[in-house]
Amino acid sequence: MAPVNTNTVVSSISKLVLAHPVWVAIFTLTCYAAFKILPKVLFRPPSIYEGYPGPARESFLLGNRFCKKNGSALPTPGKQSSSKSDPGMMWYNLIKEAGQDTIIYPDVLGSEFIVTRDPTFINHVLADSYGYQRDTAATQATKMLIGEGLVANFGDAHKKQRKMLGPAFSVDYLRNLMPVFFKSSKKMMEALEGDFDLEPLYGYGTKDALLWFGRVTLDIIGLAGFDYDFQAVEQGPNGVAVRDSFQAAMTASMNVKPLDAIVATILFFVLPSFHFLPLTETVRKIREMRDQLIKTSNKIVQEKSEELQREMREGGGSTNVDDMLKRKKDILHLCMKANMSSGVKESDKMSDKELAGQIVTFIFAGHETTATTLAWALQYLAQHQEVQDELRSSLEETLASMGKEFGDELDWYELHDQGFKLLDHVILETLRLRPPVTITYRTAFKDDMIPLSSPITLSNGKQIHQIPVKAGQNIGLSITASNLSSKLFGPSPETFNPRRWSELPEAHSEAKLPSPYGSFVFNAGPKVCIGSKFGLVEMKILLLLVLGKYKVEPVGGITIKSVEAVVQRPVVVGREEEGSKLPIKMVRI
Ligand code: HEM
């Protein structure tokens, strides 16, 4: 028999795909369903959650996923949004309706999804990064999108990377970054002054807070993490390319349609090698962002390697790569050390793919989270003038007690002075109401009994204090629902009130929420956000500088709503196609 020519086969498949993309997509999905999904549905054991709280099933096929009731008539946190279904609010609403902290949500193909805000449940799951991980498909999607970095990994691979990166996030190291944070923030303040782009549309003094915070936080993660200047504030080409690709991808992913999901599923999970498939606009934009991030990360590694070689040459060959790398403790150099140093154990080495993935991960996770939180914080302060006035006075007083004024640089210890407590509370309150990540998805990789703080009352009146899970069970840890618990955060949990952080109910300390943030916004356990301290310091400095120079006010005649696109972000109602932005009136003091 003549050997099969693989080139001819690939070329025939390509022709078929290009000629009949829809039929090929349907055929591929049908095969996938037949081989992968059908057996799971046919042999699914009976539910162990009979009589548990949660909404009644609407459909076997889709569960309640497209049920209109789920997203409607939801209360919205704060005054600034008209949205009836803010990100994460669906789970809060269902939990509130059930009157219990843990519910069983009917999911696709007869499966069930456990959603909880019970702190003991959440801590138990997050404490075990081996027993509870993202499901295989979500892990694969994360790796496709942001590479083999810290976010994507669990278990041993995660442990190894986390240990290696720890020094870049220690207080000892962060202390030395304060001048970097201040320098970039001051650059933003100067550039902000000359920005009049939004004035014709929204009136005198209006600036897009999200745009500027997005630029400056990219510059900060670049300089502090990789010793690399994106120059996003100055609108240098590298910064603009990354920000533009981000903005385009995030705008596209605000409106994901079923066809986008089908194409993405084929591309990411079923046949990743079918990269010649015609893409939808949304999937194309997301892929362009990923390609831009990979290109940027390769460029950074190449430039830094050349810099090291140069430094070694200039040092007259008396130093070697290992010595040079030992001296630098930023994210990039720690990664390069694990990648190229001869002094690292083989088992601790990082592959080229992991190195690139790590940089993409930090660009991705390390700037949009803080940028959106900062923008929401300004919006809340604009809506609550009395809090803004009190905050500004407290900042002024604290600075004066140090012999300083607005705009002066502070060191790590000064920034952590008790006098800045209200600033901390404004940030924590913003994160509580607008957590960038509203829900954490995990899948049980083992059978388990999960302990609860609040017992679940079954329909027969019986109370259970532990919930059984079988390996493969999907779980949602609802950060939004936990943040809006009046038991944990006191009365009127849907309103912005930073003062609540000084008078939290006793149940809050009993619940053992992660310290010192007092909520699950950075998650908990071994995969707790590694950049939480970095992010909090960065946000404090930026708010300190902005509030020292400007009084912020809401822009009249527009409504801001929140949409979910990786993180929860603001958009102007009626101008969603422009992507996320937050116009704020900034009046010079
Ligand atoms: C407002 C600020 C931030 C919030 C609310 C936030 C939130 C989170 C959350 C919820 C996770 C867990 C995700 C999961 O496991 O599914 C996470 C992980 C992570 N964050 Fe943040 N983050 C913030 C800022 C930052 C910053 C500034 C950096 C980098 C400098 C960063 C880097 C990371 C990384 C690398 C991970 C993965 C950690 C691991 O799996 O070990 N984050 N973040």
Ligand 1 centroid to 94 CA: how many Å? 27
- Is residue 96 in contact with ligand 1, taking CB distance under 6 Å? no
The ligand 1 atom nearest the CA atom of 539: 1
Question: What are residue 219's phi and psi, to 5 degrees?
Answer: -60, -40
Question: Would you say residue 132 has pLDDT above 90?
Answer: yes
Burial 159-198 (b: 16+ CB within 10 A, else e): ebbbebbeebbeeebbeebbebbbebbbbbbebbeeeeeb
Ligand 1 centroid to 320 CA: how many Å? 34
Shortest-distance Cα residue to atom 39 of ligand 1: 527
Ligand 1 centroid to 104 CA: how many Å? 27
pLDDT of residue 17: 66
- Is residue 366 in contact with ligand 1, taking CB distance under 6 Å? yes
Rounded CA-CA distance 482/508 in Å is 11
Lowest-pLDDT range of 54-58, 319-323, 369-373: 319-323
What is the C-alpha radius of gyration for the chain, rounded to an integer number of angstroms?
A: 25
Ligand 1 centroid to 306 CA: how many Å? 30
Ligand 1 centroid to 319 CA: how many Å? 36
Shortest-distance Cα residue to atom 18 of ligand 1: 529
- Token pair, residue 238, equals 């590298």
**What confidence tier does 328 reach under pLDDT thresholds 50, 70, 90?**
confident
Q: Is 292 within 8 Å of 242 (Cβ atoms)? A: yes
Q: What SS3 state is found at 554?
A: strand
Over residues 106-133, mean pLDDT: 95
Question: Would you say residue 56 has pLDDT above 50?
Answer: yes
Q: Is 376 within 8 Å of 438 (Cβ atoms)? A: no
Q: Which residue from 130, 216, 369 has its CB within 8 A of the most atoms of ligand 1, so it is best to mutate?
A: 369
pLDDT of residue 293: 86
Rounded CA-CA distance 418/397 in Å is 12
Ligand 1 centroid to 41 CA: how many Å? 35
- % pLDDT > 90, the chain: 54
- Is residue 358 in contact with ligand 1, taking CB distance under 6 Å? no
- Is residue 450 in contact with ligand 1, taking CB distance under 6 Å? no
Lowest-pLDDT range of 84-88, 95-99, 272-276, 428-432: 272-276
The ligand 1 atom nearest the CA atom of 440: 16
User: Tell me: the pLDDT tens digits for 201-235?
Assistant: 999 999 999 999 999 999 999 999 888 899 999 99
Rounded CA-CA distance 356/447 in Å is 35
- Is residue 436 in contact with ligand 1, taking CB distance under 6 Å? yes
Q: Is 206 within 8 Å of 197 (Cβ atoms)? A: no
- Is residue 365 in contact with ligand 1, taking CB distance under 6 Å? yes
- Is residue 123 in contact with ligand 1, taking CB distance under 6 Å? no
> For residue 373, what is the enclosing H or E element?
helix 368-383
Which among 102, 104, 56, 139 is positioned nearest to 478, based on CA atoms? Answer: 102
Question: Would you say residue 118 has pLDDT above 60?
Answer: yes
Rounded CA-CA distance 435/362 in Å is 18
pTM for this entry? 0.89
Rounded CA-CA distance 424/499 in Å is 11
- Is residue 287 in contact with ligand 1, taking CB distance under 6 Å? no
pLDDT of residue 166: 87
DSSP letters of 440-483?
EEEEESS-EEEEEEEEEEPTTS-EEEEEEE-TT-EEEEEHHHHH
Distant-in-sequence, close-in-space partners of 182: CB < 8 Å, separation ≥ 6: 409, 410, 541
Q: Which residue from 142, 370, 372, 529 has its CB within 8 A of the most atoms of ligand 1, so it is best to mutate?
A: 529
Ligand 1 centroid to 96 CA: how many Å? 28
- Residue 477 Cα to chain centre, angstroms: 14
Lowest-pLDDT range of 28-32, 188-192, 416-420, 432-436: 28-32
Lowest-pLDDT range of 75-84, 132-141, 409-418: 75-84
- Is residue 478 in contact with ligand 1, taking CB distance under 6 Å? no
* Dihedral sign from CA coordinates of 475, 427, 180, 567: positive
What's the mean per-residue pLDDT of the chain? Answer: 86
Distant-in-sequence, close-in-space partners of 437: CB < 8 Å, separation ≥ 6: 369, 479, 521, 523, 567
List of long-range contacts for 153-161, beta carbons under 8 Å, 24+ apart: 154/129, 154/130, 154/527, 155/129, 155/130, 158/129, 158/526, 158/527, 159/129, 159/526, 160/347, 160/348, 161/350, 161/354, 161/358
Neighbours of 313 (CB within 10 A): 9
H helical segments located in 56-154: 68-71, 89-98, 119-126, 136-146
pLDDT of residue 9: 62
Ligand 1 centroid to 174 CA: how many Å? 16
DSSP letter at 491 equals S
Q: What SS3 state is found at 522?
A: coil
DSSP letters of 230-290?
--TTTT-HHHHHHHHHHHHHHHHHTT--HHHHHHHHIIIII-TT-TTSPPPHHHHHHHHHH
Rounded CA-CA distance 34/351 in Å is 36
- Is residue 514 in contact with ligand 1, taking CB distance under 6 Å? no
Q: Is 80 within 8 Å of 383 (Cβ atoms)? A: yes
DSSP letter at 118 equals -
Ligand 1 centroid to 179 CA: how many Å? 23
Adjacent-strand bridge partners of 468: 449
Ligand 1 centroid to 338 CA: how many Å? 22
- Is residue 476 in contact with ligand 1, taking CB distance under 6 Å? no
Question: Would you say residue 255 has pLDDT above 70?
Answer: yes
